[in-house]
Amino acid sequence: MSTLHPRFRRLAAFSLALLLAACGGGGGGSTGPLPSFDTSAVAAADAGGMPNADWRAGPFAEIFVRGYQDSDGDGIGDLKGLISRLDYLKDLGITGLWLMPVTDSQDHDHGYAVTDYRGIERDYGSLADFDELLRQAHARGIGIVIDYVINHSAYDNPLFVNSRAAADNPFRGWYVWQNSVPSGWSIYGNNPWYGTDNGAYFAGFWSQMPDFNLRNPAVLAYHADSLRFWLNRGVDGFRFDAVGNLVENGPAAWENQPENDTVMNGVRQLVAGYANRYMVCEAPAAPQRYAANDTCGGSFAFGQQGNVIGASAGDTASVADTADYFNTAPAGMASFLSNHDSFAGDRLWDQMIGNTAEYRLAAATNLLQGSTPFIYYGEEIGMANGASGLSGDPRLRTPMSWTAGNTGTGGFTSGRPFRAFSANVAMNNVAAQQADPSSLLAFYKTLIALRKSRPSLMTGSYHAPRPSGAVMSFTRSLGAEKTLVVFNYGRSAASASVAGLPANATLQPLWPAGGTATAADAGGNAGIPLARQSFAVFAVNPP
């Protein structure tokens, strides 16, 4: 058996590209042979992912593999480490994982600068480890969704190394080039064009992440082949990065262009050719647009996290916005409270300033409203931002807090962690909370179990949201099953006035434990008393 890293075996496989590229090379400061890569065609061959579609209802956990569990003492989380934590995730009730990029990257951190679309990040392990992860996750009823960065690659990706080598390189047209840096552009505060000695390339996010030219059919074909590469292995779907940024039409028309819909529609059709898969897009500036079925089908509900967090802190305008969001949004929205990007907010613990009553209200809203909920790793134990000294995104991407010390047996690593731990690791960690039935972790587990016990809470439609001051009620329905959910985000006791229930329906309490049964009157109205900062869930049973 070859001892070459799989990545280099693949490099050897694409000698034609190397030949073409080397023939076209000579400019752009490149000396010697240009790097090669695998752009071979991949035919669809669905070896099977999850056995049915139920897992797609969530909840999902967003996992930063680098920060989840180290298995070999190098201080960096890896796939084998994640495998060893699957039982924990199953016990929590998670049905799907979104893994931030696991493909080999230039940044060797968050992974969005991809150097190899068909290879595993060298710090994380091998394709064999990834296959084992799929096998073990599926055996536990957990689907695996991986991040796919379609908009841009790494500067060091061999595709771009070729593209930048010379204006007549065969891969020049795979990226966005023009003769010189134009003026008049500003994306996230920067001119996204970068000059070289043979032209200027476009990179909307970072000079080290050049944008693909997604008008080029060869590029679309390459991505389609790479997507099939993962789907054929049994990957259950994708989180697509930066879909608002795919195609640009000018300095005033660089975001959410119509061509983006066309690209994602093609991708969606490809993914839909495989059984039981799921896809969700990231488009913070126009999330609802990409939930439509002719584009992504699923999209993160950016904006709603702020509504929910504001509501949970008792802000009545936010309560109204929270109630309204899924009333007007298309189906397919995916909700979250925070993620790995600081533009989406700090870790929930920091936003709630450690107020666990507010924290629980936010978590419950995320898990019970009409969406596919995502939980950022560590949210279930109230993991805080990183310790002082960390800033920006890295403070959100610290090692998972498994034990109070978090090194040695049972902790994140037996070695030296790649990054400082969360600021509250000593207090909020899995080991401590597993021993405490009143912990946040126990709360998440019970609530997730409740959600999973009610099909209407998993995938039911969202009806009759009624915000009133700090109180909100709504129902979820699927077939004959109906569930009523009422929240009091306020700091004093209140009564929720619910209307539109079936006449004389019995309201059977499901949460909190020990709640009292009540009933709607002949007009379908009910008054539900609620303690301060509390919520209640009822099965609505016709008389």
Looking at beta carbons only, is 67 or 370 nearer to ligand NOJ?
Answer: 67
Establish if 62 lies at the interface with ligand NOJ (CB under 6 A).
no
How many residues does this entry show for the chain? 543
Q: With contacts defined by CB under 6 A, how many residues of the chain interact with ligand NOJ?
A: 9
Q: Please list, in sequence order, all residues whose beta carbon lies within 8 angstroms of the beta carbon of residue 277, skipping any fewer than 6 positions away.
A: 49, 231, 236, 237, 271
Q: Please list, in sequence order, all residues whose beta carbon lies within 8 angstroms of the beta carbon of residue 437, skipping any fewer than 6 positions away.
A: none
Minimum distance of ligand NOJ from residue 245's CB (angstroms):
8
* Residue recorded with tokens 């032209």: 199
Establish if 129 lies at the interface with ligand NOJ (CB under 6 A).
no
**Pair 359, 440: CB distance under 8 Å:** yes
Establish if 112 lies at the interface with ligand NOJ (CB under 6 A).
yes
Looking at beta carbons only, is 106 or 372 nearer to ligand NOJ?
Answer: 106
User: According to CB under 6 A, which one of 70, 109, 123, 241 is a site residue for ligand NOJ?
Assistant: 241
Minimum distance of ligand NOJ from residue 103's CB (angstroms):
12
Q: Please list, in sequence order, all residues whose beta carbon lies within 8 angstroms of the beta carbon of residue 430, skipping any fewer than 6 positions away.
A: 88, 381, 400, 401, 402, 403, 441
Burial 381-391 (b: 16+ CB within 10 A, else e): bbbbbbeeebe
Minimum distance of ligand NOJ from residue 341's CB (angstroms):
5
Establish if 301 lies at the interface with ligand NOJ (CB under 6 A).
no
User: According to CB under 6 A, which one of 104, 236, 282, 321 is a site residue for ligand NOJ?
Assistant: 282
Which residue, judged by CB position, is nearest to ligand NOJ in the bound state? 112
Looking at beta carbons only, is 235 or 396 nearer to ligand NOJ?
Answer: 396
Tell me if residue 429 falls in helix, strand or coil. Answer: coil
Per CB under 6 A, contacts with ligand NOJ among 318-347 are: 340-341
Minimum distance of ligand NOJ from residue 396's CB (angstroms):
10
User: According to CB under 6 A, which one of 68, 124, 205, 278 is a site residue for ligand NOJ?
Assistant: 205
Minimum distance of ligand NOJ from residue 343's CB (angstroms):
9
Establish if 149 lies at the interface with ligand NOJ (CB under 6 A).
yes
Give, to the nearest 10 degrees, the angle between helix 15-24 and helix 158-165: 30
Minimum distance of ligand NOJ from residue 212's CB (angstroms):
12
Looking at beta carbons only, is 256 or 322 nearer to ligand NOJ?
Answer: 256
For residues 204 and 248, give the distance between their C-alpha atoms in angstroms, rounded to a whole number.
10
Q: How far does Cα 347 stand from its chain's mean position?
A: 15
* Residue recorded with tokens 């009409």: 370
Establish if 242 lies at the interface with ligand NOJ (CB under 6 A).
yes
Burial 111-126 (b: 16+ CB within 10 A, else e): bbbbbbbbbbbebbbb
Establish if 309 lies at the interface with ligand NOJ (CB under 6 A).
no
* Residues near ligand NOJ (CB under 6 A): 110, 112, 149, 205, 241-242, 282, 340-341
